[in-house]
Structure 1
Amino acid sequence: MKFKRINYYTLTISTLFIGLALLSCSKKNDSVPPPKNTDTTTVKPFVYNYASLADTLQTFTYGTFKSADGNYFIQNNSGNNTFNYWPNAHMLDVLTDAYLRTKSGVYTQRMKTLLNGIKIANGGAYPNEFYDDMGWLANASLRDYNITSDADYLNVAQILYAEIKGGSNSITGGGIAWQRTQLYYKNIPSTGNMTILAARFYELQNKPEDLALAKSLYNWMKAKLVNPTSGVVLDGINRNQDGQVDNWIFTYNQGLFIGSAVELYNITKDPAYLQDAILTANNAIADPNLTANGIFKSEGQGDGGLFKGVAVRYLTLLAELPDLDAADKIKYANFLQKNAQTLYLKGIGRPSMMISPDWNILPSGSTDLTTQLSGVMMIEAAAKLKADGEIQ
């Protein structure tokens, strides 16, 4: 099931059984800056403890959004228990982020429970109507297989990979359709996900046809939906069967194209892919359609709430790429650091630990799972960047 997306997508408070000790800890480590230092001879800089904040956000997100039956994560924190497929795929990625950071078996257990629970909540099977939905879950599942070697994750990824291939046809010259009932409408969410998936299957299995598919889909995106001068990535084409491009500019499309370029660069070492990623990234961090004062803009809640998280995930992969020029590495790391620090200090409600769609202001009213996940992705990315020495 989809939320209503901007212009075209069919776009409780749960009782928190969190011990007072944890709440006290989160307020100590993760709150706004401490009182002013009364020692006027020295200035002690505020220390951003991203790992501690990530732990707290993971705990509160799990406690607030987990469904009553434990199978999935609900739509929002104010009474809507709806199962939405694609945010749950990203929840799997977020739990994986926590596992990689902590190596705690708590997260591998939660990951597996969610994988199985998505199938139950989706009517007993993993495929659904939307090719982009399946792409998010396929990529999260393949990532988890590479981390855990658990064949259940590989099985899900393979099932969905085969399904998504059904969205490929010659209409508009290629690409992957958005949904089964609109095979003529192609977009970046479906095609970018499939490009990344095909590239990662090639890395796993070394089958030439997977690499050929990834390259073909990438070339289609670049030709149809990427501005060759600015690098801006548009959303889709032929929605009304008129061959026209939707000139909608969303953060997650930039992220998916960057991620596709990084995957193909890692495989081929062709510098053209890296230059494509850099061009799009440079635009993404400066384009007023995407950022304001160096911070990714709010794209609302609903589906839009998750868009920034996708951009953060793939921009982080680019920022940590060993072959990236030092100046570009610093530029992207600084941008991500500014976003993380702004969210850390301004965009998280305490003690609820709910996250605002605008990282410059505190949340108000209901919080969607999508919105929450983008913020958790940002703090998890910052924790990794800090651990790797890329940011403060």
Structure 2
Amino acid sequence: MRTHRPLLAVLATAVGLCLVAAGPATARPGADRHQDAVAAVDGLMTWWNPDSGDFDTTGWWNNANDLQALLDFWQAPGDTGGHDIEQLAAEIYDKNVGVKDGQFRNDYLDDTGWWGLAWLKAFDLTGDRRYLDTAIADANHMWAHHDSTCGGGIWWNYAHQYKNTITNELFIALSAGIHNRLDGDTTHLARAQDVWDWFQAKKLINGDDLVNDGLNTECVNTGRTATWTYNQGVILGGLVELHRATGDASALAQARRIAEAVIASPLLAPGGILSEPDDDATDGGADGPSFKGAFMRNLGALDRALPDRPYSAFIDRQADALRTLDRSGNFYGFHWNGPFDKADAARQHSALDALTAAVY
């Protein structure tokens, strides 16, 4: 994953915002949850650049997550607060479909996967077949970088330098999702299952039920402490899609183990608030601000797939913490347990992902 444009941090003071004082997190009624999400959309749209078809202040792959967050918000209960997200998706598509390698593909295969998932969601909401066709093109592009090195799996980039977790998780979610929307498909499901079997065989899920970042040059799980939240999250969505495709109960059982390990982790959820391993020491750089949003989006999908809705309280807690500890007007920062640091489109979509999950 790479940021293709410089990150232009937007300081709260530069936009004349007033920092909300930290306070206790308290549950909010459904109407207020929706109002919070609408306000977060208002904030995100301040960075929309209709000339470029991008959200300013963040990078190419983060822009896919900006779009995904808006589409998920559109699908959630309640109105869109006056935002025409269908038209926005069309504008993003039209202005970007021909750039880089076309069809939202480029030399980092995880970037391609993020865009493929966004267009799969756009197809769900609009029925526009070009979005599904792009998701298929993206999945096929990723599969072209699958080989027998390390026993299988998909490379991170064209240079074939690293077989990492996030690329393969995205592929599982995208290919299983395509199968679930493409009548008569067998190819995409077989590919998703192939990569999931490889993922398990390489023990990318460690003994603590957390997902490590990838394989070293000896094709062994690196065992790095960098168990980023997005590595834990994307596989949850992939396993929900696999379960939908196959009915295999073990997929949801594994997803639950990962989700529960995150919630119990003193590293990833200290004090019950989602965090990156180095949240307190950094501002997340160009990539990190998108990570927690990807986790929350997929945790929400898992929660809705389970009849007991086991993660609703955790989701509510993140939404409450964001509102009371990490908000400045309609804008949200990197540290969900506070204090607010600065605003940009990556931080904002992550907050929107959490707030939208709480609307359901």
1:95-174 mapped onto 2 (5 Å cutoff): 95-101=70-76, 102=79, 106-119=84-97, 122=100, 126-174=104-152
Query: Residue in 2 aligned with 1:390?
Result: none
Match of 2:325 in 1: 346
**Aligned counterparts of 1:251 and 1:147: Cα–Cα separation in 2:** 27
Equivalent runs, 1:13-92 vs 2, <5 Å: 13=10, 47=29, 49-63=32-46, 65-67=47-49, 69-75=51-57, 84-92=59-67
Contact preservation (8 Å) 2:117, 2:135: yes
Q: Distance in 1 between matches of 2:145 and 2:337?
A: 39
CA drift of 1:47 comes to 4.6
Distance 1:317 1:369 in 2: 22
Match of 1:336 among 303, 309, 315: 315
Take 2:300 and 2:84, find their aligned partners in 1: how far apart are those partners? 25
Task: Please state whether the residue corresponding to 2:166 is helix, strand or coil.
Answer: helix
TM superposition shift of 1:227: 3.6
The 8 Å contact of residues 99 and 105 in structure 1, kept in 2 or not, is answered as no
What whole-Å deviation, never above 9, does each CA across 1:100-158 have from its counterpart, x for those lacking one? 23266711111111122333664765221110000010011012112211122123212
Q: Give, as a single letter, the amino acid of the residue that structure 1 aligns with 2:53.
A: N
Q: Deviations over 1:245-280 (max 9, x none)?
A: 332211111112222221111222212111111111
Contact 2:290 2:349 in 1 (8 A): yes
**Which of 272, 275, 280 is the equivalent residue of 1:297?**
275
Q: Given that residues 72 and 121 in structure 1 are in contact (C-alpha distance below 8 angstroms), is that contact kept between their aligned partners in structure 2?
A: no
CA distance in 1, matches of 2:168, 2:243: 17
Give 1 or 2 for the bigger CA radius of gyration: 1
Change (3 A) 1:45 1:159: closer
Residues 162 and 215 in structure 2, CA contact (< 8 A), matched pair in contact too: yes
Q: Is the 8 A contact 1:249 1:289 kept in 2?
A: no
In the TM superposition, 1:102-251 aligns within 5 A as 102=79, 106-119=84-97, 122=100, 126-181=104-159, 183-205=160-182, 206-227=184-205, 229-238=207-216, 241-246=217-222, 247=224, 248-251=226-229
Local SS of the residue matching 2:84: helix
Give % identity.
25
Alpha-carbon separation, structure 1, partners of 2:163 and 2:22: 46
Measure, in 2, the Cα distance between the counterparts of 1:258 and 1:125.
26
Query: Is 1:257 matched up with 2:235?
Result: yes
Matched residue of 2:300: which SS?
helix
| Contact persistence 2:3–2:60 (CA under 8 A) | no
String of CA shifts for 1:18-59, please: whole Å, max 9, x gaps: 9xxxx9xxx9xxx7799xxxxxxxxx9865711111111111
- Work out whether 1:370 is the aligned partner of 2:343: no
State the distance in 2 between where 1:362 and 1:221 align.
37
Q: 275, 296, 299: which one pairs with 1:312?
A: 296
**Bigger RCO of structures 1 and 2 (CA < 8 A, at least 6 apart):** 2
Question: Within 2, Cα distance between the matches of 1:370 and 1:139?
Answer: 17
SS at match of 2:265: coil
- Of residues 320, 326, 333, the one that matches 1:356 is 333
CA distance in 1, matches of 2:190, 2:50: 44
Q: Distance in 1 between matches of 2:269 and 2:172?
A: 26
In the superposition, the TM-score normalised over structure 1's length comes to 0.79
Work out the CA distance in 2 between the residues paired with 1:230 and 1:253.
14
Give 1:363 shift: 1.9
Question: Do the aligned residues in 1 keep the contact of 2:202 with 2:220 (CA within 8 Å)?
Answer: no
Mapped contact 1:309–1:373 kept (Cα < 8 A) = yes
Q: Corresponding residue for 1:39?
A: none
Is the 1:70–1:117 contact (alpha carbons within 8 Å) kept by the matching residues of 2? yes
Pair 1:113–1:288, CA change in 2 (3 A): same
Alignment RMSD, CA only? Answer: 2.9
Structure 1 residues 345, 220: closer, same or farther in 2, change over 3 A?
same
Distance 1:295 1:155, change over 3 A: same
Letter in structure 2 aligned against 1:310: A
Relative to structure 1, the CA distance from residue 117 to residue 32 in structure 2 (aligned partners, 3 Å threshold; closer, same or farther) is farther
CA distance in 2, matches of 1:69, 1:122: 17
